[in-house]
Amino acid sequence: MQSPDLILDDQTKPKIAEPSPGATARSVHYVASSAQGKEAGPVPEGRSHPSGRPGVEPMPTLKGPLSEGPGRVARFARAMLRTTATLLILAVALLAAALIWDYYVTAPWTRDGSVRVQVANVAPQVSGQITEIRVVDNQYVHEGDVLYVIDPFDFQVALDTAKAKLREKAADLQVKRMQAERRQHLTNLSTTPEEQQLYVGAATQAQAGFDAAQREVAQADINLKRTEVRSPVNGYVTNFLLRVGDYAHTGETNISVIDADSYWIDGYFEETKMAHICIGDRAEAELMGYRDPIIGRVESVTRGISVSNAAPSTQGLPNVDPVYTWVRLAQRVPVRIRITHVPTGVPLVSGMTATVTIRDAGAQESSAWIRERLASLKDHVSDFVDPARPSPDCVPRIGNENGAIAILPTPKPAAPLNPTEINPGLAPDMDASPRGQ
C-alpha cells in the first residue's frame, strides 16, 4: 500500500496528457496568433481573442473562395516556355550533330593534304672547275639565267682547234674537187677513166672529212656555251652549297631549282569519300597558320596505290597476310589539285600541310558556309535514302591529249657551210673547162 503522503502528492500534481494532432495544430496557430498580436500591440478593450485570451488580435476570416485564375495561367506559360526551349535546344543539337556528321564522315574533306612541286635537278654537261657563281640560296631566277660558270679555257682552245681543222678540210676539198672536175673535162687522150674515178673518189673523201670537221666545230662551240650553266625553269634556287673552286662533274647534280610554275596540292582522301569527288570540282586548301584558303580544281585521281599483299615471297608467289582485323581503316587515295588562285601573302612551300575540302563544280567563292553545308547534307541524305550511281564521266581517263608536254630547248648545230665561204678565191673558175682557157 502507498503512504498517504505519496497519494496526496500525486493528486496535487497536474496530469500531462499526450498531445493530439489537432491540439498541436491549434498550438501552432496560437503561437502564430500570439506573435502577430505582439507585433500589432495591445488589443483594445472590449475585444477578446476567440480562445478567451485577452490582448491577442483574432485572425481575419475569409468570406469567399480564393481566385486561382492568374496563377494557373502563369504556371501554364512557364511550362510552355520550358517545353519550347527544350524542343528548340533539341532541334539545334540535332542540326549541329547532322552538320558535324556530314562534315567529318560523309563530306569529301581531309586534313591529310600537302603542297607539292617539281624540282629541276641541274647538272653540268661538261666538266671543269667552277670559276664564277652568280646566284645565292633561295634566289628567284628566270629561265635561261646563268647560275654558275665553269672555266672556259680548255673549251675555247678546243673550239679554235676545230675551226683550224675545218679550214684545212675545206681547202683540201676545194683542191680535190677542182682536180676531179678538170679530169672530167679532158679527153681520153689526156686521161683515162681509171684516173678520173680516182680523182672523183678523192674529192668524195675530202667532202666527208669536211663534213666531220664541221660537226667537230659545232660540238666544240656548244661545249664552250655549256660552261655557263643556266636555269631550265622559273623558280627558286634551293639548298645551294656550291662555292668558287669546286669541280663540276658531267651529269652530277650540284644545284636544284624549284619550278615556281608547277605547284600543286595532293589531298589523300579516304576511299569511302571518293564517290563524292569528280574531275573539275572546286577545292579549297587551308594551310596551317593561314586563314584564307587556296582555291583550285580537281585535276586527276591516282589510279593505283601500293598493296602489301602483292609483294612476292618464296618462289615469286604473293605474300598474303592471313590476319584480317575486324576494324579496317579505309585506304587513302591521292587526288591531284591544280591551283587556280593563291591569296595575297600566302607563300607556297613544298611539303606544307593543308586541309583540303572538295566542293561541287558549280560552287561559288561567295556562298555561305552554312548554306553549303545544308546543301551538302541534303544531297547526302537523299543519297542515303535513294543511292545514286556515280557518273561515268566523273573521273575520266586522262591521256596525252589532255596532258601538257614540256620540251626543253636544246642547242642546234650551225648550218653546213660551203668550202668557198671558208676559203674564198682558192680555186676560181673551178667549173670552167680547160679547153676554154
Domain assignment present for 364: yes
Q: Note whether 233 and 211 are same-domain residues.
A: yes
Cell representation of residue 281: 570540282
If one counts the domains in the chain, the total is: 2
> Does the predicted model carry a pTM greater than 0.75?
no
DSSP classification of residue 38: H
C-alpha cell at 70: 492568374
At which of 197, 232, 256 does a domain end? 256
Q: Cell digits for 63?
A: 468570406
Three cell numbers written together for 123 = 647538272
Are residues 125 and 114 both part of a single domain?
Answer: no
Q: Mark whether 127 and 252 lie in a shared domain.
A: yes
pLDDT at 17: 46
Q: At what angle do helices 369-385 and 69-101 cross, to 10 degrees?
A: 80
Same domain, 251 and 273: no
| pLDDT exceeds cutoff 50 at 156 | yes
Residue 240 lies in a domain: yes
Q: For residue 135, give every residue at least 6 positions away whose Cβ sits within 8 Å of its Cβ, in sequence order, or none.
A: 141, 145, 147, 148, 237, 240
Based on the domain organization, do 266 and 368 belong to the same domain? yes
Instruction: Verify that 231 and 341 share a domain, yes or no.
Output: no
CATH classification of the domain holding 124: 2.40.50.100
Structure letter (DSSP) for residue 312: B
Same domain flag for 175 and 251: yes
Q: Give per-residue pLDDT as tens, 302-349.
A: 988 888 888 888 888 888 888 888 888 888 999 999 999 999 999 999
pLDDT at 229 over 90: yes
The neighbour count for residue 266, using CB atoms within 10 Å, is 17
- CATH no. for residue 356? 2.40.30.170
CA-to-CA distance for 59 and 72, rounded, in angstroms? Answer: 27
Element (H, E) at 258: strand 255-259
pLDDT of residue 27 exceeding 70: no
Q: What is the pLDDT of residue 198?
A: 87
Q: Specify which residues 297 forms β-bridges with.
A: 282, 338
pLDDT by residue (tens digit) across 259-312? 999 999 999 999 888 888 899 999 999 999 899 999 999 999 998 888 888 888
Is the pLDDT score of 138 beyond 80? Answer: yes
Residue at 93 is within a domain: no
Which residue has 501554364 as its cell numbers? 76
Q: Write down which residue in 197, 221, 256 finishes a domain.
A: 256
Which range of residues forms the domain containing residue 360? 108-118+261-304+327-385
The DSSP-derived string for 167-207 is HHHHHHHHHHHHHHHHHHHS-TTT--HHHHHHHHHHHHHHH
In a domain, 76, yes or no: no
